[in-house]
A = this chain, B = another copy of it.
Amino acid sequence: MGEFELIRTFFAAAPCAQGGEGIALGIGDDCALLALPPGEQLAISTDTLVAGVHFADPCDPFLLGQRSLAVAVSDLAAMGAHPLAFTLALTTPTVDADWLQRYAQGLNAMALNCGVGLVGGDTTRGPLSLTLTVFGRVPAGLALTRHGAQPGDLLCVGGELGNAAGALPLVLNQRTAPAAIAEPLLAHYWSPQPQLALGLALRGKATSAMDVSDGLLADCEHIAKASAVRLVIERQRLPLSSALLAFLGDDEARSAALSGGDDYVLAFTLPPAELVPLQADGWPVQVVGRVEQGQGVVLVDPAGQDITPVIRGYQHFRETH
């Protein structure tokens, strides 16, 4: 048995590979088999994380295991899909048993958290990278897409923005911060919590949805384009954590929230009548703007002044990957 065959055996024995809802055949054959309830469709999303591009190398493999699965599952949340399973394509330059064990532990922790089972994948030799493909189910016609936003809808997010972007200089050891600030920011970066329950709650209510991965401004462009509407974001309404405000100050914190990326909270549009019932049920729905006729994304200050170009310039410093 070759060492890469051993890795397969290792992952096949991981707790997250021990079955789950909808898994008719798991690891160990040419294909995995998933079963769906009648009337449901399969939701599929793929994300690749490359060492040195999407995460620092070396890093804590447990945290990487958590994060690599969370960012992929977040796409299921954005579609209002119920999570089922995932595959892992792991490319690694060397077979390091300790590293693999820690990575698998992080992966397992997030798989348990999200309710997904590992059903297959591939293990290959090469520069370290991870491609995770996640699977969920959603009743036909109920998936949340990017193309249903209507003028008059509210633009909402499911939680605080900018924490992961704020954490990045800490992750890269470019800055330090007291534990009370660093810990919540780093937790958000390394262990984002896919908003699966919120996605399910928004079925039949939100007119469009996506997860914020590249920054609110950039991601709202996708909804604006797919729905052929204009999205107006009110800068003063951005939900910011006290840790982020303490670390970056108000102005930089707002820029991080708008353009920082890696938030993995949901952004969605909602008819105004849906807002209060959702909030009354305890869902974390925060209004950050509105949908208008037109196109593109506009950022406004409290006076309603268009301040988009100033902020948009911030984006050019980011690598788009």
Stretch at the interface among A30-38, A163-171, A229-237, A303-311: A30-38
Q: Which B residues are CB-close (under 8 A) to A145? A: 25, 29
The interface bits of chain A over 57-89 (1 if a CB of B lies within 8 angstroms of the residue's CB, else 0) are 000000000000000000110110100000101
* A120 at interface, CB cutoff 8 A: yes
- Picked from B122, B136, B209, B319, the residue with its CB within 8 Å of the CB of A48 is B122
| Cβ of A278 under 8 Å from chain B | no
Among B30, B36, B124, B126, which residue has its beta carbon within 8 angstroms of that of A78? B30
Cβ-defined contact, A45 with B31, below 8 A: yes
Partner pick for A33 among B78, B143, B147, CB 8 A cutoff:
B143
Complex contact B321–A124 (CB within 8 A): yes
Neighbouring B residues of A143 by C-beta, 8 Å = 25, 31, 33
Q: Name the segment of A2-10, A149-157, A179-187, A282-290 touching the other chain.
A: A2-10
Q: Which of A79, A122, A126, A226 has the most CB of B within 10 A?
A: A126
Q: List 16 A-B contacts (CB under 8 A).
A: A2-B320, A2-B321, A30-B45, A30-B209, A31-B43, A31-B75, A31-B79, A31-B136, A32-B45, A33-B43, A34-B42, A44-B133, A45-B120, A48-B131, A123-B321, A133-B133
Chain B residue nearest to A84 in the complex (CB): B42
Which chain B residue lies CB-closest to A135? B44
Copies in the complex: 2
Which residue on B lies nearest to A210, using beta carbons? B30
**For residues 84 through 132 of chain A, which have their beta carbon under 8 Å from a beta carbon of chain B?**
87, 89, 91, 119-127, 129, 131
**Contact status B91-A129, CB under 8 Å:** yes
Interface range for A: 35 or more
Chain B positions within 8 Å of A76 at CB level: 30-31
> Which one of B2, B5, B126 contacts A52 once the chains associate, using CB atoms below 8 Å?
B126
Closest beta carbon of chain B to A49's beta carbon, Å = 8
A140 at the interface (CB under 8 A from B): yes
Please name 18 further chain A to chain B contacts, defined as beta carbons within 8 Å, in addition to the given A3-B320, A44-B135, A53-B124, sorted by A numbering.
A2-B321, A29-B146, A29-B226, A32-B44, A34-B44, A36-B36, A38-B38, A42-B42, A44-B119, A46-B122, A46-B133, A50-B124, A50-B127, A89-B133, A91-B129, A122-B131, A125-B319, A127-B127
A32 near B43 with CB under 8 A, answer yes
Cα–Cα distance between A87 and B47 once the two chains are bound (Å): 10
Instruction: Write the chain B residue with the least CB distance to A119.
Output: B44
Cα(A120)–Cα(B75), bound, Å: 12
A294: Cβ under 8 A from any B Cβ: no
Query: In the complex, are the beta carbons of B124 and A81 less than 8 A apart?
Result: no
Residues on B with C-beta less than 8 A from A42 are 33-36, 42, 135
Please state if B125 and A46 are interface contacts (CB–CB under 8 Å). no
**Chain B residue at smallest Cβ distance from A143:** B33
* Cβ–Cβ < 8 Å partners of A43 in chain B: 31-33
Q: Indicate whether A201 reaches chain B with its CB closer than 8 angstroms.
A: no
Q: Is A211 an interface residue (CB 8 A)?
A: yes
CA distance A75 to B120 in the complex (A): 12
A29 to B30, CA, bound (A): 28
Chain B residues near A319: list those with CB within 8 A.
2, 125
